[in-house]
């Protein structure tokens, strides 16, 4: 007895200590999603046996089986008319360009070398693509943006021609914050948009001039992401509505070509001027591609919790389950496990799903949980869902997306991707401020982060979409510790085989985001209103139209 008694203060202290710890965790979490749940899901999804979760591999089979089993265990209904899966038909295109691109002009010829000077590919599901002596036109930024009264294609016929366009939009580094969104990239600045617009205009080809600062990455990124096989969604028209050739040329090559057509100096400033009109280059370009095609089916995983009062209205949570698979070994490791990118987001989504099944009262609107495929290959699974929605888009209140959640604990700053877009951010800010935290925008707004994960495909069809992550101001560690952790991940582990799970991984920051997302979704589910896009957002008009406004 005595002996025990003497231990009591120690025991008490231990209990108090544990109590304190738990309190700290709940302060940072403020919700029902637990870090233990999140870690247990990551441990499975980022295990070597899933081989990096690449679409069409045994890793896909295991990943989607795990996620659907979890949905079932939670008692969630299958989300797609009795099935937990949505088929996503894809085509893999491995394009091999001709070794050179030949440009013939009155003032001389240019022979561009593949990879070194240009990269091209074609989404057209054809074995051989050939562009012969197509006239070239410099079309400035290649943008048609009615809300900014901007049209680089005004009065232009580009049928059968190849357009040369600049990356990013006129606002970037213009010093004018009223021109587009100033240094914040609008969707009109993104390379995917340049390709889409050139196709709408009927151009045979589109070449983007690569400039490191407005692109936000170097030529090395262009090279690695444009060589080798690429995946696309299968299209009924076999991508015949797209340009024959899409690609990039280096800044130095572009400058030489433009100079020989009499275009000199700061081309971005030239194309930014109000009086700018597209300039025919009086040159013809010839280039070809041989395509190897492979068709295969991947899968989104989907479940639903029906709303008690307004089941036809829904809130949709997303996280991509796929990663890069097995690739180039680094330090003897060839499995790209993607523990952070994006086992963390799927784990958080499963955590949020569990929280909804346990909450009382039950949500009045339906809650949809969607784990999408093919994000790493170009946001394909979410594009498929957004263009083949199972729940009507004009009844979809919002999309809440989680991708690559921080593993270094909770932060006081909550990062909103592409801050300034829509009213879901106001829910996030209110949720943060309730806990004494605050929301922040992108560190590099010119990099177009809002267009780089799955929420973007919802935005593109008008559904307000929120992507959120921890920031850099660690709650537990002073100074720039959090920033260092974040930088270390981006510099050394992002898209590397070292993005691994280990038992000492800190998932408390992931839980912080998951709980905020749960609270936001729960609040939305019990409201009758539909949050909208903010004034000036390039997605506002699309939503207004789909809502019949
Ligand atoms: Zn990724």
Domain boundaries along the sequence of the chain: 12-90+297-546, 92-293
Q: How many angstroms is it from 374 CA to the middle of ligand 1?
A: 10
CA 445 to chain centre: 14
Q: How many angstroms is it from 376 CA to the middle of ligand 1?
A: 5
Q: How many angstroms is it from 42 CA to the middle of ligand 1?
A: 15
Q: How many angstroms is it from 252 CA to the middle of ligand 1?
A: 30
Q: How many angstroms is it from 341 CA to the middle of ligand 1?
A: 5
* Residues in the 5 Å CB sphere of ion ligand 1: 341, 376
- Is the pLDDT assigned to residue 22 strictly greater than 70? no
Q: How many angstroms is it from 404 CA to the middle of ligand 1?
A: 7
Q: Are strands 77-78 and 85-97 parallel, antiparallel or unpaired?
A: unpaired
Predicted TM-score (pTM) of the model is: 0.86
Return phi, psi of residue 466, to 5°: -125, 130
Q: Which residues of 502-538 are buried (b: 16+ CB within 10 A; e: fewer)?
A: eeebbbbbbbbbbbbbbbbbbebbbeeebbbbbeebb
Q: How many angstroms is it from 496 CA to the middle of ligand 1?
A: 10
Minimal CA–CA distance to 311: which of 267, 353, 366? 366
Q: How many angstroms is it from 389 CA to the middle of ligand 1?
A: 24
Q: How many angstroms is it from 342 CA to the middle of ligand 1?
A: 7
The least confident of 41-45, 131-135, 178-182, 518-522 is 178-182
Q: What is the pLDDT of residue 27?
A: 46
For the record, the structure tokens of 66 come out as: 């795990």
User: What is the dotted CATH code of the domain comprising 92-293?
Assistant: 3.50.30.30
Q: What is the pLDDT of residue 28?
A: 56
Cβ–Cβ < 8 Å for 173, 189: no
Q: How many angstroms is it from 41 CA to the middle of ligand 1?
A: 18
Model pLDDT for residues 217-237, shown as the tens digit of each residue: 899 888 877 777 889 999 999
Rounded Cα–Cα distance for residues 520 and 283 (Å): 55
Q: How many angstroms is it from 260 CA to the middle of ligand 1?
A: 40
Model pLDDT for residues 64-87, shown as the tens digit of each residue: 999 999 999 999 999 999 999 999
Q: How many angstroms is it from 323 CA to the middle of ligand 1?
A: 6
Q: Are strands 413-416 and 333-336 parallel, antiparallel or unpaired?
A: unpaired
Q: How many angstroms is it from 350 CA to the middle of ligand 1?
A: 19
- Is the pLDDT assigned to residue 8 strictly greater than 60? no
Task: Please report, to the nearest 10 degrees, the dihedral formed by the alpha carbons of residues 245, 246, 251, 254 taken in order.
Answer: 30
Minimal CA–CA distance to 225: which of 214, 235, 217? 217
Q: How many angstroms is it from 494 CA to the middle of ligand 1?
A: 7
Alpha helix locations (H) across 277-400? 345-358, 380-387
Q: Which of the residue ranges 77-81, 227-231, 416-420, 535-539 has the most confident prediction, judged by mean pLDDT?
A: 77-81
Q: How many angstroms is it from 114 CA to the middle of ligand 1?
A: 26
Q: How many angstroms is it from 476 CA to the middle of ligand 1?
A: 27
> What percent of the chain stands above pLDDT 70?
95
Band of residue 449 on the pLDDT scale cut at 50, 70, 90: confident
Q: How many angstroms is it from 20 CA to the middle of ligand 1?
A: 36
Domains 12-90+297-546 and 92-293 share a fold: no
Minimal CA–CA distance to 378: which of 233, 244, 245? 233
Q: How many angstroms is it from 490 CA to the middle of ligand 1?
A: 11
Return phi, psi of residue 469, to 5°: -150, 170
Q: What is the pLDDT of residue 516?
A: 98
Q: How many angstroms is it from 346 CA to the middle of ligand 1?
A: 13
Q: How many angstroms is it from 375 CA to the middle of ligand 1?
A: 7
- Is the pLDDT assigned to residue 129 strictly greater than 50? yes
User: What is the dotted CATH code of the domain comprising 12-90+297-546?
Assistant: 3.40.630.10
Q: Helix, strand, coil: what percent of the chain each, to 5?
A: 35, 30, 35
pLDDT, mean of residues 531-537: 92
Model pLDDT for residues 481-525, shown as the tens digit of each residue: 999 999 999 889 998 999 999 999 999 999 999 999 999 999 999
Minimal CA–CA distance to 76: which of 67, 64, 88? 67
Q: Which residues of 352-367 are buried (b: 16+ CB within 10 A; e: fewer)?
A: bbbbbeeeeebbbbbb
Q: How many angstroms is it from 344 CA to the middle of ligand 1?
A: 12
Q: How many angstroms is it from 306 CA to the middle of ligand 1?
A: 31
pLDDT, mean of residues 201-210: 98
The least confident of 62-71, 82-91, 449-458 is 449-458
């Amino acid at each position: 007895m005595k002996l025990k008694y003497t231990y009591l203060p120690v025991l008490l202290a231990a209990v108090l200590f544990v109590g304190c710890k738990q309190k700290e965790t709940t302060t940072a979490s403020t919700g029902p999603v637990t870090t233990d749940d999140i870690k247990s899901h990551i441990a499975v999804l980022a295990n070597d046996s899933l081989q990096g979760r690449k679409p069409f591999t045994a890793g896909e089979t295991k990943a989607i089986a795990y996620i659907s089993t979890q949905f079932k265990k939670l008692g969630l209904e299958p989300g797609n008319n009795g099935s937990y899966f949505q088929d996503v038909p894809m085509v893999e295109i491995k394009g091999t360009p001709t070794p050179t691109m030949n440009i013939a002009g009155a003032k001389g010829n240019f022979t561009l070398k593949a990879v070194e000077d240009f990269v091209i590919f074609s989404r057209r599901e054809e074995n051989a693509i050939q562009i012969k002596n197509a006239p070239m036109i410099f079309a400035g930024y290649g943008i048609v943006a009615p809300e900014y009264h901007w049209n680089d294609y005004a009065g232009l016929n580009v049928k059968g021609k190849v357009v040369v366009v600049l990356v990013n939009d006129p606002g970037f580094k213009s010093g004018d914050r009223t021109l587009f969104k100033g240094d914040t990239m609008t969707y009109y600045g993104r390379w995917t948009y340049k390709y889409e617009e050139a196709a709408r205009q009927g151009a045979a080809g589109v070449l983007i001039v690569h400039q490191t600062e407005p692109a936000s990455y170097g030529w090395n990124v262009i090279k690695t992401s444009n060589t080798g096989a690429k995946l696309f969604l299968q299209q009924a028209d076999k991508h015949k509505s797209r340009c024959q050739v899409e690609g990039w040329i280096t800044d130095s090559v572009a400058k030489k070509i433009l100079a020989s057509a009499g275009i000199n100096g700061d081309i971005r400033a030239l194309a930014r001027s109000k009086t700018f009109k597209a300039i025919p280059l009086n040159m013809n370009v010839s280039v070809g591609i041989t395509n190897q095609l492979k068709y295969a089916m991947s899968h989104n995983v989907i479940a639903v919790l029906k709303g008690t009062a307004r089941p036809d209205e829904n809130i949709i949570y997303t996280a991509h389950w796929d990663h890069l698979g097995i690739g180039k070994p680094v330090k003897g490791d060839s499995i790209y496990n993607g523990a952070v990118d994006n086992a963390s987001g799927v784990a958080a989504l499963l955590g949020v799903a569990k929280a909804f099944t346990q909450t009382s009262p039950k949500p009045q609107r339906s809650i949809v949980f969607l784990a999408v495929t093919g994000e790493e290959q170009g946001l394909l699974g979410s594009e498929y869902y957004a263009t083949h929605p199972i729940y009507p888009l004009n009844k979809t209140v919002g999309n809440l997306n989680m991708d690559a959640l921080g593993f270094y604990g909770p932060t006081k700053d909550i990062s909103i991707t592409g801050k300034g877009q829509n009213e879901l951010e106001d829910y996030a800010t209110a949720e943060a401020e309730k806990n004494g935290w605050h929301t922040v925008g992108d560190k590099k707004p010119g990099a177009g982060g809002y267009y780089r994960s799955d929420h973007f495909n919802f935005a593109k069809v008008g559904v307000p979409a929120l992507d959120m992550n921890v920031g850099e101001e660690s709650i537990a560690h002073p100074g720039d510790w959090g920033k260092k952790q974040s930088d270390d991940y981006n510099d050394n582990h992002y898209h590397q085989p070292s993005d691994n799970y280990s038992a000492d991984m800190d998932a408390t920051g992931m839980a912080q985001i998951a709980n905020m997302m749960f609270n936001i979704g729960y609040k939305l589910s019990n409201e009758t209103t539909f949050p909208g896009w903010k004034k000036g957002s390039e997605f506002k008009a699309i939503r207004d139209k789909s809502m019949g406004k």
